[in-house]
Each structure stands twice: as C-alpha cells, then as structure tokens.
Structure 1
Amino acid sequence: MQTLAKRTLYLIGLITLVLAFFIGRLGFDYNFENFFPTQDKDLDFFLSYREAFENDNDFLLIGIQNREGIFQQEFLQRLDTVTRQLDSLSLTRQVLSITNLKNPIIGPLGVLQPPALRINEPGYYAADSASLYANPAVRGTLVAQNTPAVAILVNHQLQISKRKADSLMQQVAQILAPHPFDAVHLAGKVRAQSVYVEKMQVELALFAAASVVLVVIFLTLAYRSAWGVAVPILVVILTVVWVLGIMGATGKKLDVMMVLLPTIMFVVGMSDVVHILTKYIEELRNGLPKQQALRLTLKEIGLATFLTSLTTAIGFLTLLTANILPIRDFGLYVAIGVFAAFVLAFTVMPAVLALMKTPKVVHRSQNRLLWVGSLRRLFLWVVRRRYAVLVFYGGILILSGWGISRLQSNTFLLEDIGENDPLKQDVYFFDEHFGGNKPFEMAILVQDSSRSVWDPEVLAEIQKMETYLQQQYGVGTLASPLLLVKGVNRALNGGDVEQFRLPESPQAYRRIESYLRRLEGTQAAVPLSAQKGQLGRMSGRMPDWGSQLSREKNAALDSFMLHAIRRDLVSFQLTGTSVLVDRNAEYITRNMLEGLGIAFGVIALIIGLLYRSWRMTLIALVPNIIPLLMIAGIMGWAGIYLKASTSIIFTIAFGIAVDDTIHFLSKLKLELNKGRSLLYAIKHTYLFTGKAIIITSTILAGGFLTLLLSSFGSTFYTGLLVSLTLIFAVIADLSLLPVLLLLFLPKKNSGKDAA
C-alpha cells in the first residue's frame, strides 16, 4: 500500500507542477461586454450597428469644478492646457471642451471658425458665456446648469485594450496633477475597468487569506493536532492550484465572478476531507489498524461523498443555462473544481495518511456524550411536536410567498460598487449635472429607399423623437443628423444661436444641403449616418436609473412611436450597451427557474435511483426547497433586487445544501437495511449524523460569510444569502426531515421501500 501511495503522490505532484506553470498566464479582466446576453437579437443588431458607427461607451468624462465660477481667466487657461494635452495623446480620437469649441460662420469668403469662448479676452466673457448657455448642444453637456463646473468629453481609441486603458488613465492623471482644481470627477469604461480590476486583485488575496485562517481555526479546534491541520490544508491548496491552473491553460481570466472561486474551493473542498478524516479517526478509536481503518473509511463514505460532490457540481453546472458568459464560465470552472477536490481528497489524503505513522487519537467520550445527549433531546422535541413543526413551516411558506410577490428584478451598470465609493460618487456627479454617464443609443432606420436621414420630412420626425426623449424619457443632449443640420443652419446665419434649428423653408434647406454632403464625409470622430443615409445614429447620455424604470420608460416610448411617428417614413430602435445590460434583467428569472428545474430534476433522479423510492425523493427535496423560498422571500421583504449576481445564489445553495440530506438518508438506508424500525432507524441516524451535518454546514456557512468583507455588492450578497440558505437548510434537515420521514415513509417494510 505504501508503494501505491508514493506513486500516487508522485503523479499528483507532476500534474500539480504542470498546472502551476499555467497559473502564471492568469490575468485579471473586467470586460463590460462579457455581461451582454448571448444569442440575443438585440445583441446581433447592436454588433451590426457598431460596425456602421462605433462603440457607444468608448469615452472618458472629466468633470472639473471651480467654486469661484468657471468664467475665470486663470481657470479657463488651465482648462485649455488640459484640453490641448489630452487632445495630443495617441489614444484619444476627439476631445471636446468649452475651450476648443468653435462658432463656425459660413459667409461669402468661406467658412470662418472663431472660438466660441475667447479665453484671453475677459471682456467678452459675459457675451460668450451667454452664448454657450443658450446653446442646447453645450448646456448640460460641457457646462453644468446648476453648479460651477465644466466637463471634458474624451473619445478614446475604439475597443481599447486593458493595457492601453491603464496607460490612458495614467496619462490623464499626469496631465491633471499639476493643476489645483477644486474638484475633479472621472467616469467612463476605462475608469470603471481600472477600479474593478484593482478591487478584484485586493479581494482575491483577502478572500484567500480569510479562507485559510477560517480553515486553520476550524481544523485546530476539531482535531487539535498538527497533522490534522496540515493534511487537509494540503489537499485544499492543491485543489485551488489545479483549478487556477486549468483556467490558465484554457485562457480564462479572473473576473468579478471568478474572484469567488478560491473561497468556494476552500470551503467546498474542506467538506470532503473532513468526512474522510472524521471517519478515519473514528475507526482508529474503535481499535482498527491504520491500513484497515483507511480501507473501511474509503469504502463506507466513498459513495456518499461522491454523490454530494456530484450534486454540488450539478448546482454549479446549471449556471450553464445562463445567457451571460461570466456566469456560465463561473459555473463550469467551479464544477470542475468540485470534482478536482473529490479526486484529490480520495487520492492525496489516503496516500499521505498511509505513509504517516499511525497518529495518536484521544478518546473524548465526554465530548461525544455531550453531542449525543443534545441531539437526543432535540430529536425527542421534534418528534413530539411533529404537527407543530409542519404548521411552523406552513407559516414560513406563507410569509415567504408574500415576500416573493414583492421580489423585483433590476440591473444597474455599476451595481457592484458601494454607494460611498469614489467611482460611484463621480457617476452621481455626472448624473446630476451633465445628463448622466450611461450611454444612450437609438438607430434611425429610413423606410423609404428614395429618402435619407437628411431628408426634411425625415428630419422633422427625428426632431419629434428628440423632443420626446429629452422632455419625457430623460436623455441629455443628443448627437444626431439633426444636430448637424441645425449647426449648419446657424453657421449660414452668421453664427446666431437663435438659428440653431431646422430651416423653415425648402429654399433655406437647399442652401445648406451642399454643406451637409461635404460634412457627412468628414465625420470620422463621431459618425452620424451610414448606408448612404438609410441608417442614422442618435447618441447621448442618461442617468443610470436601472432596468426596472427603463422598462417602464421603454413601454411609454413604444406607445409614442406607435401613435406619433410616421412609421412609413422612418422607424427608431433602441440599441447600445445600456439596452443589452437592461436585457439581462429579462433573462434572469427564466435562467434561474431553468437552472433550478434542471438541478431539481437531476438530483431527484440521483436520489430516486439510489433509494428506489419516489416518496424518499420528494421527502429529500422538500427540506432543501423551503430554504430557497425563504431566501427569495427575505430578498423581497428586504428590497434586494433579483439580478445577475443574486440569481446564481439559488442554484449554488441548492447544490451545496442537499449534501447534508444525502448524508442523512445514506445513513438511514443502512439502518433500515439492518431491519430496524423506522422510528429507531431515524433516531439512530439523527444521533450519529447530526454532529457531522452541523459541523460541515457551519464550515460552509462560515466560509461564505467571509465574502461579507467584499466591497462588491454581488460578492457581499452571495456570501450573505448562500450562508443563510445553508443555515436554514441544516435547520430543516434536523427538524422537518425527520417529521416528513415519520409521517410519509411507510412504516411496514420501510427498509425494503428505501433500499
């Protein structure tokens, strides 16, 4: 046996070295687009729309406050310096600021482009500021209406990589550093990406450290020996190395979901090794030699542990039904990790124990009597009040149902960031003073092939739509073909801001038509039309009010388009990253129910095949479904939204929580097969599995509670709600499960029925 143990360890060591090599390829990633729903018609439309124009979130907003007022010469000179330096960067395509705006005038001598703001001539500040505030394309976009602040819009390189994004943020920081502005606010994809990746790096180390500390404390209290701590820790660390190595080998990067993986592996992997070690020590205390104790341990708990690993993996694999790639990847790699933990627990641990000297074990009869006595009293209390227990859970179901009726789905762009985080505060600043940070995109689809977006009648429909969007929907200033037409009309009328509108007559429109065609070919920075004018772009920004309110606004928008827009002439379609993020909320409930349905079905099939009893299958599922309903009810009562990050909790928790039920029923089956009465078999099972159920559930719940240290909302709620689910599940296993077995399992021939 020792030779086999050594060979096993050599093989495991070799595999570990290879996988450890691939860990070096791991990187951190926060690609916003990974969270778009896949296989979606809106995504397909957006991808083709983006090919015609550009990505809608490739921008950086810089908000700068000056408490003494923005029309101060020193402040404007500093602002101009910053604007010019930003515009000179290789990663920027276009930089817009009040200091580089032009007021074009088209006259007999050609096109003149005097500055909209004469920075070095303070005597003109009053007139220039009045003109800027009167311009709807500038007011609320580059100058705030209700606070002394300006914004710089930086359109950067399209589809910028993480490395270039970091470089751009560093260059922006260097440009801003020498200037003592009162306050500077930054928002945009590159800023969010930088913040997320930095937090993920910190939290990965934090969770790993917290998991190790938790496991060491538990093992020390449970086994009070160096080998009782070192051997399980070795197995769990190897599990983490294997999973991370597999991720590196397959090119998967660490994202906001994958940061949870080491913690889950530590917690779930520890469950297997604890069952092995506890059974091994028990057999040593019974006087068996080391080798015989190991064989008996692997024989008696091997099947049950395999089934619990299988059900846990199934819980994670059901996440493959999700329409969001990071959630699917998370489910797949954690499921792989669960099986890796099982393989390592049943290879490395027996091999190490076989090579070690027989450890000294202490017979703690007093401790055992304390557990047995407490569990006996609890069992008798439950049995004597069996109908009261049913009434109690009936009340729980009613309250949970009431809470579930209040459960709502809602999604935000930065839902994982805390309210007091500087990034979130900067986003709120732009939402309040500059029309928002969330991209808004609408496609203009000309229905008449003889017309284009530059046609006067089409432009009139676009103006109706823009008026509705700004006054009713809540979008800020919009860039569209209409904006360009109004700008040319103003330029043809001496730069008069009052002429920033559509031409009033066909003659006036013909005056600007030639300029429109010329300008259309020079829209490299912000293209507004494509497909020979048959496709137009309407682009702006809006506050992030969540997918729930967006659904209401979109329904009202659909009604407006149905009754107010000439659909034979032009149609409009919402698109862009914001629409795709909001679509996630529509898929969440369906994906969650599909995943749970699959998990219920597969686990019910496993239990049915194992026990060959439909009654036992139903009895096993009920104590694990009720905790899920309780959590959903709590979420409804507490106002916790059902979203991508919280929807995964149910399938994860179910797959893990059912493990205790399987261990309980496995022991019960052995007792019934010995010909014992149902009541005695349940009592004996209760006394000798209750301790293991409580301890393993405590480890699992405690491990997930370490996620409360996270600053990410999704991670925090995953830790809290999964922990609560596991606690509720162990309570149900110790109170409701015995009652259901007594009431609904046949008293006669119960051993045959359960066999």
Structure 2
Amino acid sequence: MSLRDRLVSFSMDKPKQVFYLVLALVVLAGLQIPSIQVDTDPENMLPHDQVDRAYHDEVKARFALHDMIVVGVVNETNANGVYNSQTLTDLHSLSSEIQKMDGVVRQDLMALDTVDNISQEGPGSIRFEWMMKMAPQTDAQVTRIQEAVARLPLLQNTLVAEDGKAAAIYIPIESKSESYRLSQEIQTVIDTLDSQNQYYMAGLPVAEDTFGVEMFIQMAISAPLAGLMIFILMWVFFRSFLLITAPMIVAMATVIITMGLLIGQGYTVHIMSSMIPIFLMPIAVVDSVHILSEFADRYRPGENPRKALAEVLSHLFTPMLYTSVTSAVGFASLAFTPIPPVQIFGLHVAVGILLAFILTIIFVPAYIVSLSEKRLAALKDHNIEEDDNSALGRLLVKAGQFSLARAKGLVIGFIALVMVSAYGVSQIQINDNPIRWFKEDHRLRVADTVMNAHFSGTYEAYLVLEKQDLSEERASLKQALTEAAVGDSAVATALSDILAQAENEQFQTYTDNLINVFDEASYNRPEQEALWLKLMAVTEDAQQSAKYFLTPEALEYLDSLQAHLNASELIGKSNGLPTLLKTVYRELNGGDAEQYTLPGNASAAAQTILSYQSSHRPNDLWHMVTPDYRSSVLWLQLKSGDNQDMSQVIELVDRYVAANPLPQGVEANWAGLTYINVVWQDQMVNGMLSSLLSAFAMVLLMMVFLFRSVKIGLLSMLPLTVTILFIYGLIGLIGKDYDMPIAVLSALTLGLSVDFAIHFLERTRAIYRETGKWQLTIEEVYKGPARAISRNAVVVAVGFTPLLFAPLVPYITVGFFLATIMAVSAVVTVLLLPAVMDSIRNKNALFGMKKEKQNV
C-alpha cells in the first residue's frame, strides 16, 4: 500500500483520532502565541554582525549618539509664529515634562530651554547662558530669544524654523522599542496644554515602533476578516456550511500551528512574519477547494462517500503533493536571502504549506466521511455549480471554445503582454521608507509632511571621517625620540627598551604611557632630567599633532564638504565640528559676521574647544568628534527618508570626494538609520532576485520530473512566467515602489501559479489518455479542473479584499497584488495553456501516449 493510500485509509477509518490529533497540535501551538514579541526595527533586517550594521552600532557608541523622536510645535496663526510668550511657555512646559520621562536621555535633549546662547562677554572671552531658562513673560524677552537663535547656525532650521512658524524638541531615547510608549506619554502632556499651537511627532523610531503596535492589531483583524470572506464565498459555491467548515479548519489550524511554532522557537514577529497568516490562508484553502469541487462533482446520493473520496484523491494526491512541494520550495528559497526576517518568513511559510497539505489529506476526508448521508445529499442538491448551466459553468465553456478558436491570436496577445510587461519591469524603482507604511492621512504621515516642510529634516544620516592609521605618526615619533636621545647612551638604551615594551599599544595609550614613563624618569634620574623632559616634550608634541581633526587641513576639508552638502537640495542641513568652532571662534573675536571663520591653526582650534568646554553642554562636542580627535562625524538632516533620496546623497558625496580627494589616510563611511535602510533594501533586492531564479530552476526540474516530460514541464512554467512578468511589469508601469512586501510576493506568485498549471495539465493529460480526443478532452477539462481553478481564484482573490481597507499600506499592497496574482494565474492557465497545446500537432507525443487512439 502506498503512502497516499495509507494516509487516506487512516483518515477515513479513524476520523475521531484525526480530529483529536489536529486539536492537540492546535492547542499546543496556541499556548505559545501569548508569548509573542513584535519587532519592526528595520535594523534587524540585517544580521548583527553585518558589516554596515556593526559599523553603524560602533559609530553610535563612539559618538554617544541616540535615536531620536522629534516633536514639532507649529503656530501659523500668530504673526510672529512661535515667537510669542504663550507658545514658548507651552514649549518650555512640554520640554520639562518630557525630561522627566523614563527612557529619555535627558542630558542630550535639545530644546530652546536646554541649549546655550553663546555670546561675547569681553575681548577674548565668551559667555554661555541658558537660551530659555525660564519661560519668557515679556515681548522683550521673546525678542532676545529670537535674535539669539538667529545668530547660532547650529540651532537655525533645527530647533526653530527659518520662518519662525515652528519649533522643535529633539528627544534622544535609550531604546527604539520605547518610542511608542514615549509618544503616547508625550501626547498625554500635549493634550493638557491649552493653546492654539499644533503639535506633531516624527522620526523613524516612533514610526517603526508605532507600526509594530498597529501591525499587531491589524494581524488580529485582517486574517480573520479574510477568512470570513473566504468562508462566505465557499458557501456561495458549495451551499453547505458543514462542508466548507473543513477547509476553514485546515486553514486556521495551519496558521495557528505555524505561528505557534515560530513564536515557540523564540523568534520575534517582524513585519514579514506578521504576514504569514495572510500568505498561508489562500495556500491552505486551495487544495481543500480542489477536493471539495471534485467530490461535489463525483458524489452521488446514496453512494459510499469513501469510494468517491478515494477516486478524487487518486487523481488529486500527486498534483496536490507537487503543488505543495513547489510552493514550499518557492518560499524556502527565501532562506538564501541575506535578510534574517525574510529567511524566517520563507522557511515558516514553507513549513506551513507542507503542513497544510498533510492536514488537507488527513482532515478533509475524515471530516467528509463523518458527515451523515443526509448532509452529503444536501450538498448535491444545493451545489449551484454542479451543472454547466450555472454562470461559472457557462463562462468556462465559452472560455474553452474561445481558447481553441482563437489559439493563435491568444498566443500573439500574450506575447505582446509579456513584451509590455518586460518594459514595465525595466521601469521598476527600488525604494522604501517606513513612514510610507502608513496611509497619507495617518497622523505620523501628516506630521512627517508638516515638519519636513518647516525644518531641515527629521531623517538622519551620519557621514563619518576618520584617520585611524597612525603607523606614520608612530614611526615619526620613534625616530624623533631616538634622535633626541643620541647624545646619551644610557638614555638611548633605556628608551629603546621602553619603546619595545609599548610597541603594540594604541597610539593614545602609547603616548600617554611614554609621557608617564619619561616624567617618572626625570624625577628618579635628576642628572638626566633635562633629556627626559625633552623626550616628554617631543612625545606631547606628537600626541598633539596626532589630533588630526584639530588641524587646518582636516577642518577646512570638513568645512568645504559641509558647504557642498548644504548647497544641495537633497540635504536640509549638515551640522559638524566646523560649525561649532566657527560659532565659538566668532564670539571670541568680536562677534562680527566676518569673524565667522575657522581658527587658523591647531593650537587656536584647541583653545576654541577649551572655551566651549565651559558651556552647560560640554559633552555635545563628543557627538561631533572623538576625544582623540581622530574621528569626526557630520550630522545630516534630510527631508526625505526614501532610499532613493539617501542613495542620491551617497552619490553626491562620492562625486565630491572623487573631485576633491580625501586627505591622505582619511576614510569616509556612512551610518544612521536612513543609510541602514538603503543597505538592507539593496541586499533584499539582490537576495530576492537570486532566490527567485534558483527557485524557478528548481521548480522547472520538479515539473519535468513530475510529468516525465520536458515539454509539459516547460508548459507548466508558462502561467508562472507570465504572471510574474505581468505583476512586476504592472508595478513598474504604475510607478509603485519596489519595497519589502512587493519583493516577497514573487514567492507567492511562484507557488499559486504553478498550483493551477499542475492541476490543469495533469488532468488534461489523464483525460486525453482516456479519450484520445483533443476536443472532448478540453470539454471535460473545462467542466472539472478548470472549474476548481476558477473557484480557487475567485475565493482567494475576492476573499482578501478586506486587506484593501487596512490602515497599513503593506497590507493593502499584499491584498491588491494577491488578488491580481490569483486572477492573472487563473486566466493564463485556462486560456493560454489550451491555446499553446492546441498549436502542438502531435498530442500523443505531448501526453506520452505510445499508440494513437484518435486525435480530433
């Protein structure tokens, strides 16, 4: 007895055991679901050890940078914008309350009440005072704040908009996972403020975390709604609530067990894995619909249902097995992408598909045989699709006739469609932005538009310049020390030993240790004191010279680069060490505009920084440069978080560096959330392309193996090829961005398109081998398999229309293209395949008949 026969016999002989087994699996998996953890951090699209992500994390630690929520206060009604006592009082109150919240990095929060006004106190001296220590009570106090902000480039268009209509609070947070909670607490404070101001919140962290919360809610709504719609549509076709309950139980059990398996293994639910129920639902239903459709056609009242079921499964088991395996292969191929959440998604959907096949084979027959004869007779009485006079039956008969009568025209038409689609594919734009995961009227989307219209930008990228190779400086110091000690052999010998011992230390540590050793030696060896002090001075000079980003060469390059960036429309503003130095240096030298220049030498730069260190926020310096002055970062504010725009910024810098080479030994690298989004998007696209190609090749080989025919194997790939080209051609033609949900749809297209083709071709070959007549074969095919395919297409395509009304764009995208995939796959299968087969003269050879019966 074959595996198929054993499974079918077991399900029909012991239906109660099957029910208990399925129930036990569902309960066991369901117990895992309450421990669900949601993760929508796009950084986790990359492994922790991925080069760009590891560098991004290192940069954040190196410069003590934190992800930020940006709160905007807008006043369009007052002639002076936010520069009025009431608005500034509200801003002060809001900022004060935010600083009390857990999870906020208080010392780095930027608002008018937490930053310094920098002004000249006297010749060569500077004064730092709080910009807005207390809320202003008079117009004069408001004016003083306005004038002070206008003098400070670091604050212009960052804390206050150029037109004065908006002010911002930049809130660094300890963890992105706290951003939604903090946004809710901030909103609670805002709701207590009684003013005419408009308040907005923006920033990638709050967008990503909010999406996670809403995604969790949507996951609990969309999948059940889609299931309800599928249930209703199947009732329209089969008119038996009891019978159609079977595929719904299979679908729900598949979803629960698969999600329970994922959560039970400790995986977080990412945006990708949140869509597992949506992807599994149609796949889990299609096989059941094939069985129900054929059973409804074959079963006769009074007949033993076991006989009809055995006959149905003898026809459907092999194509169902291969459709399940090919679909699983399509999704499992996602494991070859370098994106962990996509890998987890693909593998678990693959497992879910195979689970759905097993549940369908054992549960649906067990369920049907457990129904009374009266219930089964009612199915036959009410099956409105039973005869060919139904709407769907008549449509399919005409489709079959049309396919044969217009075979050449159809083939030419589909070739034209493929050519247009290929052009559309060439027009695809790869782009993503987490803020676009929300509808245009969502509060975060509105806030993004308003705040980026007023300010320099709420999106961040970091351009890091560093000179870490100090081998040249180390060699020069060693030579200078050796030359200085030439006159004293004892010192020279001691120096040689000291240098050898410190050879492997980092330069800063190396020089610090040398200075300590030389200082101690000067004290312990008074007769050589002068020489040891000389060596210490040489080392101190080398140590100072190694502070590269205090040198004119480094600062001028940074300043020129900033000027180039600020002149581009792609960048709202750049902030960096040159901006800080020029501001402080201006105030140290009279405060006039012409004094807004860089210090002339490293010593002057160091003195300028020393003056800044007496401010209320001295640690802000280390957000721009490291304490050893070997690395400096430019904070770029961008008005758009689109990957395309970030890529253009990268190209802008690349062109500048090509025309103005970096100083010798200096490297430039990128970090920041907006940049990381570009990295994982590029990796996803390349990974998806390679996985799709490999899966396509594997499926083709499986089709050739299944049908034992290269020709039929190639035919089975036609619906898949045309559907994929059409879907992605449509995306290119309508200008839809190629984003994360779109990329994953290729795997679903592969699975569902091949499903239809396998059933259609397998049944066509079987019927032709029985009849030997092509015309009769087509007529029979359009009465049975084509009807099941059409039912499946309608059930799934229409069943997922609730997704079109979801508040999250990825769900809308999946719903629309899922319906389109089903419709196109079905149309290509039932129209193009017969047309192509009709053009093949030797049908006997095509279908593997050794002896020709008749070919009409």
* 2:343 partner amino acid: R
Q: CA 1:476/1:406 → structure 2, altered by over 3 Å: closer, same or farther? A: closer
**1:56-77 deviations in Å (ceiling 9; x for gaps):** 5344333343632322223322
Separation in 1, partners of 2:605, 2:376: 97
Give SS of 2:169's match: strand
Q: Does 1:266 align with 2:281?
A: yes
Please give the alpha-carbon distance, in whole angstroms, between the structure 1 residues aligned to 2:809 and 2:63: 34
1:285 is paired with a residue of what secondary structure?
Answer: coil
Q: Which of 205, 218, 233 matches 1:203? A: 218
The structure 2 residue matched to 1:131, chosen from 118, 126, 148, is: 148
Q: Specify the alignment match of 2:843 in structure 1.
A: 747
Secondary structure of 1:203's partner? helix
Tell me the CA shift for residue 639 of structure 1.
Answer: 1.0
User: C-alpha separation between the residues in 1 aligned to 2:154 and 2:75?
Assistant: 20
Q: Which of 66, 77, 98 is the aligned partner of 2:89?
A: 77
Letter in 2 for 1:576: G
Aligned with 1:175 (options 189, 202, 216): 189
AA aligned to 2:359 is L
Q: Given the superposition, is the C-alpha separation of residues 73 and 477 from structure 1 closer, same or farther in structure 2, using an over 3 Å criterion?
A: same
Secondary structure in structure 1 of the residue aligned to 2:234 = helix
Q: 1:356 aligns with which of 348, 353, 371?
A: 371
Bigger Cα displacement from structure 2, 461-470 vs 444-453? 444-453
In 1, the alpha carbon distance for the partners of 2:714 and 2:628 equals: 63
1:315 deviates by 2.4
User: Which residue in 1 is equivalent to 2:441?
Assistant: 420
Matched letter for residue 93 of structure 2: T
CA distances 1:95-124 after superposition (whole Å, capped 9, x unpaired)? 222233323457799874323357345434
Q: Measure, in 1, the Cα distance between the counterparts of 2:620 and 2:664.
A: 30
CA distance in 1 between counterparts of 2:49 and 2:752 reads 30
Question: For the Cα contact (< 8 Å) 1:427–1:436, is it kept in 2?
Answer: no
Equivalent residue, structure 2, for 1:407: 428
Cα distance in 2 for residues equivalent to 1:193 and 1:750: 54
Q: How far apart, in 2, do the equivalents of 1:365 and 1:444 lie?
A: 72
Measure the CA separation in 1 of the matches of 2:448 and 2:783. 56
Q: Deviations over 1:608-647 (max 9, x none)?
A: 0111111111111123211221222222221112222212
The residue that corresponds to 1:50 in the other structure is 60
Superposed CA offset, 1:234-253 (max 9, x none): 22222222122112202233
Instruction: Say yes or no: does 1:571 pair with 2:667.
Output: yes
Tell me the residue number matched to 2:519.
none
Q: Which residue of 2 aligns with 1:369?
A: 388
The Cα shift of 1:458 comes to 0.9
Could you tell which deviates more after superposition, 523-532 or 253-262?
Answer: 523-532
For 2:387, give the aligned amino acid. Answer: R
Deviation at 1:183, TM superposition (A): 0.3
Q: How does 1:451-490 map to 2 (within 5 A)?
A: 451-472=547-568, 474-490=570-586
Instruction: Give the match for residue 346 of structure 2.
Output: 331
Does 1:151 find its partner at 2:168? yes
| Structure 2 residue matching 1:744: 3-state secondary structure | coil
Instruction: Give the letter aligned to residue 368 of structure 1.
Output: D
The Cα shift of 1:424 comes to 0.9
Q: Determine if contact 1:63/1:430 at 8 Å carries over to the other structure.
A: no
Q: Is the alpha carbon distance of 1:729 and 1:250 closer, same or farther for their aligned partners in structure 2, counting shifts above 3 Å? A: same
Gap runs ≥5 in structure 1? none
Contact 2:571/2:637 (<8 A) preserved = yes
Alpha-carbon deviation of 1:601?
A: 1.1
Shift, 1:521, TM fit: 11
1:481 & 1:454 partners in 2: Cα distance?
Answer: 10
Q: For the Cα contact (< 8 Å) 1:131–1:497, is it kept in 2?
A: no
* Cα contact 1:137–1:477 (8 A) shared by 2: no
* TM-score between both structures, scaled by the size of structure 1: 0.91
**Displacement, 1:506?**
6.3
**C-alpha offsets along residues 516-547 of structure 1, whole Å, 9 cap, x if unaligned?**
78889952796323372222222132111622
2:464 corresponding residue in structure 1? 443
For 2:241 and 2:422, the matched residues in 1 are separated by 49
Residue 222 of structure 1, CA deviation? 2.1
Q: Hey, what does 1:693 align to over in structure 2?
A: 789
Equivalent residues of 1:444, 1:536 under 8 A apart: yes
Q: Does 1:390 align with 2:411?
A: yes
Q: Contact 2:69 / 2:179 at 8 angstroms: preserved in 1?
A: no
- Indicate the residue corresponding to 2:487 in structure 1: none
Whole-Å Cα distance in 2 between the matches of residues 226 and 236 of structure 1? Answer: 15
The amino acid across from 1:335 in the alignment is: A
After superposition, residues 207-356 of structure 1 pair within 5 angstroms as 207-285=222-300, 288-356=303-371
Match of 1:18 in 2: 28
1:8 alignment partner in structure 2: 18
* Partner of residue 481, structure 2: none
Q: Which has the larger radius of gyration?
A: 2
Deviations 1:245-269 (A, max 9, x none): 1122022333333333323333221
How much has 1:78 moved relative to structure 2? 2.6
Paired with 1:253 and 1:702, the residues of 2 have a C-alpha distance of 30
SS in structure 2 at match of 1:540: strand
Q: Closer, same or farther in 2 for the Cα pair 1:248/1:401, shift >3 Å? A: closer
Q: Separation in 2 of the partners of 1:531 and 1:681?
A: 81
CA distance 1:9–1:623, shift in 2 (3 Å): closer
CA distance 1:368–1:324, change in 2 (3 Å):
same
Q: Secondary structure at the match of 1:60?
A: strand
* Aligned amino acid, residue 355 of structure 1: S
Same amino acid, percent of matched pairs: 19
Match for residue 140 of structure 1 among 157, 166, 177: 157
Describe the shift of the 1:482–1:59 C-alpha distance in structure 2 as closer, same or farther (beyond 3 A): farther
1:645 aligns with 2:659: no
Which moved further from structure 2: 599-608 or 676-685? 676-685
Q: What secondary structure does 1:502 align onto?
A: coil
**Whole-Å separation in 1 of the counterparts to 2:711 and 2:27:** 48
Deviation at 1:378, TM superposition (A): 2.8
Q: Please, which runs of 5 or more residues in structure 2 have no aligned partner?
A: 1-9, 471-545, 852-856
| Deviation of the 1:427 alpha carbon | 1.0
The structural deviation recorded for 1:594 is 1.6
- Evaluate the alpha carbon distance shift between residue 45 and residue 609 of structure 1 in structure 2; reply closer, same or farther with a 3 A threshold: same
- Give CA-to-partner distance per residue, 1:439-491, whole Å, 9 cap, x none: 12011112673342222221111111111111126434434332442344245
Name the SS for the 1:144 alignment partner. Answer: coil
* Aligned-CA RMSD value: 3.1
Distance 1:213 1:737 in 2: 32
Larger mean CA deviation between 629-638 and 66-75 belongs to 66-75
> 2:439 is aligned with what amino acid?
G
Contact 2:720 2:749 in 1 (8 A): no
Q: 2:116 maps to what in 1?
A: 102
Alpha-carbon deviation of 1:334? 1.9
Corresponding residue for 1:27? 37
Larger deviation: 727-736 or 401-410? 401-410
Tell me the equivalent position of 2:633. 537
